[in-house]
Structure formats: C-alpha cells, structure tokens
Structure 1
C-alpha cells in the first residue's frame, strides 16, 4: 500500500494547481462508490493527504481504476496510460509489500454455510436473504437454510449442521454462519421472540466441540441489533508471569480461526430498510459486485464498513451513523 501511495503522491505533485483543482472536481463527480465528498476534499489540503484519502477509500485494487476514470475526463492521456498499466499489474497487497506473504487457508475442499433468517416482522428480510444466498453461492458455498425458526428448531438445525461437518471431517475448508434476526446485547431473537445467546452458537463450532474445523476459518455474519442506542454521529472538527507449555503435542486455543462481523457497535441498533433490506447486507452486495472474490475477507469487510460509515442514514428525520464491528482470531488469509 505504501508503494501505491507514494506513486499517487508523485502523480499529484506533477500537476499544476489548476490541474489539481480540476482533478478534485472530477474525483468528486466520478460516480465511484463510496463517494468522495467536498468535505472529504476539504480535509485533504495537501497531495499527501489526498493520496491517503484515495488509497483508504478505494484500497489497492480500486485506486488505479478511479484515477484512470478521472484522468480520462481531464484528457490527460499520458496519465491514463500510466495508471491503466498500474491497474493491469494488480499491485500487490500491503502485507506482500511490507514483509513476508501472509499464508492462506486451504479453500480447495467444500465450503459449508448456514443461513438463518427471521422474516416475520422484519420488512426487507427477504431481500437480505436473497443477497446473502447469491453471495454465498457465487463463493461456492453449500448452503443450509433455516427460515423463521423457534429456539428449538434453530438449535436443532445448527447442531445438525455442525455434526454434518464433523462427519465429513477432512472434506471441509470453511464454515460460514449467517444469522439475521432481531436482537440485543449478546443475543438474537427467534420468530417467537425467544432469546438465543450468540456465545452459545459460537461455542458450538470451537476447536473442542467441532474438531473438524480446527485450523479452518469459522465466519459469522450477524445482522441484528445489539441494543437500543442510536449514534447520531459527530461533526468532524499485562504484568503477570507467563508459563510456556513446551509439550511436543500441538495445542490450539479453544476459539482460534474465528471471524465475526456485527452490523453495529455494542448496545446500538442495526439499520434495515423495509424494502431494500439491511444496510450491511446491501453494502456486502455492492462490494462483491465491485471486487468479486479478489479481496481477503478482512479487506472485503473493511470495504463494506467504508461504504456504511460514509453513508448518511436517517430515522424519523434524525441523522444516524453506523459502523461495523469485526472480531478476528484468524491465523491466515481467507480468500473465497
């Protein structure tokens, strides 16, 4: 990423002040999502700050493409040619530039997904379910559905899903569980308004209870409120001795290789449009359409978060902001 940033700075420094003004105008009106606004540009007065804004907003894979579009509108064919070449080179990821390559999980074997969705009393939920199903199918997951379950049915189906993975053991690469429902702090609600603790669900798939998933990614996408607080946004203006186990037998932490995505911060509401569906899941669809399967899952959901954070939402005419929360104990990169 630093190599790309330096290249962007060099390009911007070569431009005159009138050209930079024109560049910012076309950048703001490029049509690329997530949008760069006038306020964003006001907070990036130098070429260095502008380069930071571009690379953070569009990441390594998207920045060359955005620059090509802007330079085409500026009729700077020399820079169009330069950045088209950069785009084709598919510049390396940040950890590939800055040190040893991050090892990847082996994803060649079957991928298993569980999709639970409470549709009753949740307008837009059907749209969410369709988007998630399409995303998972494009990523070659074999999906198990669970629609409008009560607590007994949900836990039985999750247990059956988990036990099925244990049964095939070496023939599974990854497990992904999506839970879409009403919820609160640490729990989701069934169609009968029963509470199910998320920790109980996570525990079902840990290294002790599901040994078939040891050292394999276990991904959880949660679309549910985590409380009742609303974030209106802001105007920008250990010392204990540690013992080391030298046993020759390999040991794993109980909860390693997890990746959990929440649609909002703790104690806060999650947003869902009655027609278009949930904010996070809409953003998942948009990022997947733009980047496909090129991004490591952490980068993928960082881009999803970028879109969500830089979009303004309203409830009862009051502004509300949303930010995703990602928790990870992954030890390798996950590419679908």
Structure 2
C-alpha cells in the first residue's frame, strides 16, 4: 500500500513540476521517457516503416514500438497502447504515434487521437501524431518530408517542432495545376515543443531573414461579424480592429451578413485584391458568428455556411499567391462543453502543490498530415484545405463550444493582448501562447453552472516564419 501511495505522489509531483515549467517558460519539459508507436496497414512495406523509426530515433525517442494491423483495428491497437502506458504509473515526456496507411483510408483520425488523449500517463504531455499516406507497396525510400524532419531536428535541436515543421513544409511543397500543395499541421499545443537532445531552456537561434514572409507590401483584412444576439461581439470587433490598424492592415468590416453574404463578401474581397494596383503581401479574415452542431457558421438569417469553403475560396486568389492567408474563426464548432481532464491522484496533494486540477481534454496534441514517400498531403484529410500558406485558428476544438460574454470572447481578447505585447514574434509561437492562456481559464456557459474548459485549434500550412510587426 505504501508503495502505491509513494508512486501516486511521485507521479503527482512530476506532473506538477512539468506543468509549472510549462507555465514559467512556455515550453514543454520532455526530459521524461519518450515513446513512439508505429501503426501501419499490411499494404505498407516493412522497409518504409523501418526508415520511419530511424527518424524517430533521430528525434530522441528511445523506445519505438511497431504494430501492423488493418486500419479498422488501429483503434483497438491504440487502446492497448494506452493501457500499457497507464500501467507504468509514471508520466511520460512525450509520445509520438505514426499512423501509416494508403491514401484515403484514415477517414476518421480524430477518434484515434481522442483515444490516446485520455491517457492519464500523458496528461499535460505533448502527443504528436504523424498521419502519413502511403501508396501500396511503395518503394522503401523516405520522401522529402521524413528526410527533412530528421535532418533539421539533428541540425537545429533548439528549434521548436513548429519551427522545424514550417521549414520542412517549405522544402516539401509541390506545384500542381497552378496550386501549391504541402503538408498540414493541426495544433492544440500549449507551449513550445523541442525534441532535440539539448537542455530545454536554452536560447533559440534566430532564423535567417529569408526564412520569413516578406510583409513589406500592403496588407488587407476583412471582418465578417454577426453581432445580433451575440453580446460582446462588438468588443471583439473593436479590439481586433484596433490591433489590425496598429499592424498596418487596411480593414473592411461587414456586420450581420447572411449565410450567402459570407460567401459574397469574401468573393468581393478576393476580387478587390486581384484588381488592386499595388501588390498585397498578407490577408487576414476574421469570421465571427454563431456555429451549429455540425461546426458550420450561422449567418444573421440563421442559415449555415461551411467555414472551410470560405477558406478554400480565398486560397484561389491570384494576388495572394505565395502570401500568408490568416483566418480567425470565433464560433462554436458543436455543442460539447468540455469539463477537462483531471488527475486521479489525491486531490489534497494537487492543492498542496498548487497545480491546476483540470486540463482541456483536447489540449497538447499536434497532428501532422503528410505523405510518407512523396511530399503533398493531397486528399489525405477530408474536408480540409491543404493549399500552402494558410493559417486557420479556431476558437474551439472540433465539436466544442466557443465561449463569449458581454466583454467579448476569450479567444479574440487574449489574442489581441498577446500580439500587442509581442507583435514581432513568430505568429505560430504567439498563437501557442494564446492557447496556453485560454486553456488556463475556467468558463461558465449561459446555461451551465459548472466550470468548463476551452482549447484552440491551430491549422497551418505556412512555409515560412510569419511576423506581423508593422
């Protein structure tokens, strides 16, 4: 009994220390055990999996487990993996899971990701998922994505994984029929994640100027905001408008658009950019409205429009070819109110350690969609836009409620505060800090007396460092 209590308290202390490091430094402490798991379908060659595991070792994962199973059995395999991690009764430093299957077979990856997110041993730890498409019987030769990832992590160990991925995306993007395709990442990380075998709080090297987007030309922003029956929405519009003005964006505001108005306004915005005499270097679109249970935006007329369709519309803008396109979506993506994940350790010890008892259940996850042998993620993530140079930030995780009150939304208000404090920082890293602050908040919905948690989702196909300093 004393052994079990000692183990439980040691786990509580280690997890509290990791949480304190995240709050103090804004970086994950990944000095604990790192475990990688590869789940591959029978069509994937063993040689390709072996090469993938070599990349894992370069990234610092000591233990690499391998399972071959049909895609239908991936969930069962992940359940067994989770049970083995929980049986150790000790927190991990980081876990990396590679899901490798022929293109189009992983149709519902979120169920797989959610299964591992509930692992107690991984509570508060980063969970990285590589979702790799592979042609059946493909040659056992790593594509540019895996090669670049392994090389850069060994050469730039102080860089965060988001920085590394941005550079890898630049190397692996490909042109096809006038459109640039590249891998896509989806992040709910709350801090910088460095996997290099170095002391985690060391200084990061400054990237070269050529690694950044050139924002020296005009910047344009479009706000489409439904303010009817959305108390606090006007405060979001004013705060975001003031920030964009300080960052040099010429802003257009349209309030209370209908569902069709969302589409028409965005089409008109694109036409104006294409007709503009002076070149544009960046565009920002803020979409603020109610969302339905399917994650669609609701116009002032109560009709729905798919937000991904709006992202797709602007991706075809010729004036923005090769330029960053930023989308901010303040809207519900479903009706789930996340109570978060709490520790199973003795609650009085958590209070004594002053560690937060609840973390959003969707936090600390990084998903990377790419091709194992080739370079593009084309057709691998149904319903998502995989063109390059796009950044989409959702105020809530998929299926969850986005919170707002009379003072505005947690997402927009925190975003404005963070960007005003460090306008010259890397936008992906700043958004990670925004997510950390949002995840720490306890919120009360208008029809719920219990406290709930919120978590952002950041989707990026950026190929360069993006800094908005005017």
Show the counterpart of 2:454: 322
Deviates more, 1:104-113 or 1:148-157: 148-157
- TM-score between the two structures when normalised by the length of structure 2: 0.49
Instruction: Answer yes or no: is the 8 Å Cα contact 2:244–2:251 preserved in 1.
Output: yes
For residue 239 of structure 1, report the CA deviation from its aligned partner: 12
Instruction: Answer yes or no: is the 8 Å Cα contact 2:233–2:409 preserved in 1.
Output: yes
Matched, 1:191 2:300: yes
Show the counterpart of 1:38: none
For residue 151 of structure 1, report the CA deviation from its aligned partner: 2.6
Candidates 17, 22, 25, aligned match of 1:55: 25
Matched, 1:118 2:250: no
Return the alpha-carbon distance in structure 1 between the equivalents of residues 243 and 456 of structure 2: 19
Instruction: Answer yes or no: is the 8 Å Cα contact 1:111–1:175 preserved in 2.
Output: yes
- Identify if the C-alpha distance between structure 1 residues 170 and 243 changes in structure 2 by more than 3 Å, giving closer, same or farther: farther
Runs of 4+ in 1 over 6 A off after TM superposition: 238-241
Matched, 1:290 2:260: no
Report 1:175-324 matches (<5 A): 175-184=283-292, 185-206=294-315, 209-237=316-344, 255-273=387-405, 275-291=406-422, 293-315=423-445, 316-324=448-456
Return the alpha-carbon distance in structure 1 between the equivalents of residues 219 and 266 of structure 2: 16
Instruction: Answer yes or no: is the 8 Å Cα contact 1:110–1:174 preserved in 2.
Output: yes
For residue 155 of structure 1, report the CA deviation from its aligned partner: 2.1
- Identify if the C-alpha distance between structure 1 residues 52 and 193 changes in structure 2 by more than 3 Å, giving closer, same or farther: closer
SS in 1 for 2:284: strand
Higher relative contact order (CA 8 A, sep 6+): 2
- TM-score between the two structures when normalised by the length of structure 1: 0.67
For residue 276 of structure 1, report the CA deviation from its aligned partner: 0.5
Report 1:140-159 matches (<5 A): 140-159=248-267
For residue 125 of structure 1, report the CA deviation from its aligned partner: 0.8
Return the alpha-carbon distance in structure 2 between the equivalents of residues 257 and 136 of structure 1: 19
SS in 1 for 2:418: helix
Return the alpha-carbon distance in structure 1 between the equivalents of residues 206 and 242 of structure 2: 35
SS in 1 for 2:467: coil
Aligned residues: 251
Deviations along 1:129-167, one digit per CA (max 9) or x if unpaired, are 111111111111001111001133332221111011112
- Which consecutive unaligned segments of at least 5 residues does structure 1 have? 1-40, 59-91, 246-252
Deviates more, 1:314-323 or 1:324-333: 314-323
Show the counterpart of 1:75: none
- Identify if the C-alpha distance between structure 1 residues 156 and 43 changes in structure 2 by more than 3 Å, giving closer, same or farther: same
Show the counterpart of 1:10: none
For residue 186 of structure 1, report the CA deviation from its aligned partner: 3.9
Report 1:127-166 matches (<5 A): 127-166=235-274
Return the alpha-carbon distance in structure 1 between the equivalents of residues 239 and 271 of structure 2: 27
- The structure whose residues are more often helix, as a share, is 1
- Which consecutive unaligned segments of at least 5 residues does structure 2 have? 1-11, 29-157, 164-202, 345-368, 377-384
For residue 211 of structure 1, report the CA deviation from its aligned partner: 1.8
Return the alpha-carbon distance in structure 2 between the equivalents of residues 100 and 226 of structure 1: 35
- Identify if the C-alpha distance between structure 1 residues 156 and 319 changes in structure 2 by more than 3 Å, giving closer, same or farther: same
Q: What do you get for the CA RMSD once the two structures are aligned? A: 3.1
